[in-house]
Amino acid sequence: MCDGIGCDGYVWRYLRQDLGARFGLHLHYRGHGRTAAPRDPTRVGVTDLADDVASVLDDALVDRVVLMGHSMGVQVALETYRRHPTRVAGLVLVCGASSHPLKTFRGAGALEDLLPTIQKWIHRVPGVVNRLTRAVLPTRLAYEVATRLEVRRELVEPADFMPYLEGMARIDTRLFVAMLSSAGQHSADDLLPHIGVPVLVIAGGRDGFTPPDRSRDMAAAIPGAELLEIANASHTAPIERPHLVDWTVRDFLDRRIDGLEGLPAATRPVG
């Protein structure tokens, strides 16, 4: 399972439980969760994170896996397939884009245009910005703001979303904007027509961070890809509609992964 920027697993909460023994690995990116900050702060690009996925598989003695990516994790999963294709048995791509996600954030490219200025100010006073985010983000006020901007209040319990805000508060803002910049410049569009493993794409019909047309286009470009679009879900679809997402993922794994003849034993879900 590959997270979005600033996340350390909150969005997979229900899917991890539902998969049970089928669930195998969840990594924390550099500077996220239980992983220390990178020794080289410039090495936080999508390709770096994809190579980290392969390193985690090596350490866990796992040959091949189904990669599940959410938000920027979609780009990490795709880049892992590009760079380490023999390690990937399938892809589940959730609420993400294959390229330049900042160009369509909230339906416009304003964030991409503003990011260099944001980075400049953060690097001028990083301590102040970090103290501010650590004080403000893990609060009910931040949750209320999120429900007005993106998250579906009627579908998400505060207890399901607060771990995201708490995780974000622990991230060094310089690391966050560096990853955001890298993700904004990354593209795997050229890879999509050449993907040769089963793919499931999941989209939120009301996703303001990654508009659903990005998921539709991605699914259309990948040979044999399946698409689930949840009409009233946002960028946090896996915790808004967990039963639908979990059932669809399990069905996909049953039909497209476990059902493949000659599938090497190493590709089976790790207990």
pLDDT by 10s per residue, the chain, length 271: 999 999 999 999 999 999 998 888 999 999 999 999 999 999 999 999 999 999 999 999 999 999 999 999 999 999 999 999 999 999 999 999 999 999 999 888 888 888 999 999 999 999 999 999 999 998 988 889 889 889 988 999 999 999 999 999 999 999 999 999 999 999 999 999 999 999 999 999 999 999 999 999 999 999 999 999 999 999 999 999 999 999 999 999 999 998 763 444 433 333 2
Residue 129 lies in a domain: yes
Q: Supply the range of the domain harboring residue 94.
A: 10-261
pLDDT in tens, 46-57: 999 999 999 999
Q: What is the pLDDT of residue 65?
A: 96
5 belongs to a structural domain: no
pLDDT of residue 96: 97
| Number of compact structural domains in the chain | 1
For residue 1, tell me if it sits in a domain. no
Q: pLDDT value at position 195?
A: 98
- Give the separation between CA 10 and CA 242, rounded to whole angstroms: 12
List the Cα angle 164/167/170 in 5-degree steps: 150
Kindly report the average pLDDT of the chain as a whole number: 92
C-alpha dist (Å) from residue 155 to 77, 136, 237? 27, 23, 9
Q: Provide the pLDDT for residue 264.
A: 45
In a domain, 236, yes or no: yes
SS (H, E, C) 92-113: EEECCCCECHHHHHHHCCHHHH
- Say if CB 15 and CB 238 are below 8 A apart: yes
Determine the pLDDT at residue 163.
92
Q: Is residue 100 part of a domain?
A: yes
| pLDDT at 129 (0 to 100) | 93
CATH of the domain at 244: 3.40.50.1820
User: Does residue 166 lie within any of the structural domains?
Assistant: yes
Predicted pLDDT of residue 32: 95
For residue 198, being part of any structural domain is answered with yes
What pLDDT shows up at residue 260?
Answer: 67
Q: Which two tokens stand for residue 50?
A: 């994809």
Q: Is 271 domain-assigned?
A: no
